[in-house]
Amino acid sequence: MTRAMHAFQVREREDESEEFTLHDWRRLLRHLGEDPARQGLVDTPQRVHKAWQHWSSGYATEPADILKVFEDGAEQVNELIVVRGIPVYSHCEHHLAPFFGTATIGYTPNGKIVGLSKLTRLVDCFAKRLQVQERLTIQVASALMEHVQPLSVGVVVRCRHMCMESRGIRTPGEETVTSALLGEMRTNLGLRNEFLALAREKG
């Protein structure tokens, strides 16, 4: 067999094995020491399949579509806008374990403002992918900067990570805090402090 042909066959086998079916969830259950035919587990593969479709739906969502910009009357708005308590539900890419908490987003408009509910959807768009919290935080900030073009953007995310808490790596309830600051937030110390003070308060 030639080398190229061998490589092709290996690739084809990999492609085949990438086809993921309910059978694979049943294999996982068996691997964990369970009986997939047990009554409580019979419908589990179908349920898990649906749940993961939801938890990975962010891959099919474009930030540009979410961030339709409202310009009416926004010319006068040049104060820092801060939205707190935006829910974050994601899964870490290292363990496929949930991490969850809240995000605070602040920005200084430059003639364009964005609906508050859209900030929630923007976070969701990146959270419903396999993530690390640091990247999620930067992606939200960068998307806002790119599509709304404000003078500044700040994002602070606080989350509890199942993979760390359940294995004793972190104290239960302990939050991981990440932040991303763009535009004038980097250079304007007063603005940065105002945002970070608002982000530190809970609620």
Asked if 160 is part of the footprint of Zn ion (rule: CB under 5 A), the reply reads no
Asked if 123 is part of the footprint of Zn ion (rule: CB under 5 A), the reply reads no
How near is the Cβ of 99 to Zn ion at its closest, in Å? 7
State which of residues 26, 49, 84, 95 lies at the interface with Zn ion (CB under 5 A). Answer: 95
Nearer to Zn ion, 105 or 164 (CB): 164
Asked if 167 is part of the footprint of Zn ion (rule: CB under 5 A), the reply reads no
Which region among 19-27, 59-67, 156-164, 177-185 touches Zn ion (by CB under 5 A)? 156-164
Helices (H), the chain: 3-18, 22-31, 44-55, 63-66, 116-127, 133-148, 162-165, 184-187, 189-200
CB atoms under 10 Å from CB of 170, counted, come to 16
Collapse the DSSP code of 73 into the 3-class scheme (helix H, G, I; strand E, B; otherwise coil) and give the result: coil
Q: Which residue has the tokens 């587990």?
A: 41
Task: Give the catalytic positions in this structure.
Answer: 92-95, 133, 161, 163
Nearer to Zn ion, 94 or 200 (CB): 94
Q: Which residue has the tokens 């535009």?
A: 183
How near is the Cβ of 177 to Zn ion at its closest, in Å? 16
CB atoms under 10 Å from CB of 66, counted, come to 20
Binding site for Zn ion (CB under 5 A): 92, 94-95, 163
